[in-house]
Amino acid sequence: DAGVTQSPTHLIKTRGQHVTLRCSPISGHKSVSWYQQVLGQGPQFIFQYYEKEERGRGNFPDRFSARQFPNYSSELNVNALLLGDSALYLCASSLVGGSSYEQYFGPGTRLTVT
């Protein structure tokens, strides 16, 4: 079975631009969460979507938004990019919304903002 997939693998953007990151969960998983990992730190929670509805939001500005599609894949959008948005963006999927112990993470998208 394929694991969580994310695209693109790497991305370079300029300050002020917009970026869209994509995530495909494991087949059958209905919950998708997004995390930001800055170099040297642990991942920080951004969003969780379950059954296409937002179920949780971390402490991130409104420039960050996300959505989940009917096939349970998800997009993370970041507007007006700042240098500080440079990070590894991780997507995690789980079978049900409340089962945090079995979250399966993708390899991440490395975003560099110049």
| Residues within the interface to other proteins (CB under 8 A) | 4, 31, 33, 35, 40-45, 48, 50, 55-56, 58, 90, 92, 94, 97-108
**68 or 94: whose CB is closer to other proteins?**
94
**14 or 42: whose CB is closer to other proteins?**
42
Quote the least distance from Cβ 15 to other proteins, whole Å. 26
C-alpha distances in Å from residue 67, one per residue of 19, 37, 43, 48, 49: 14, 20, 20, 9, 7
CB-based contact 68:32 (threshold 8 Å): yes
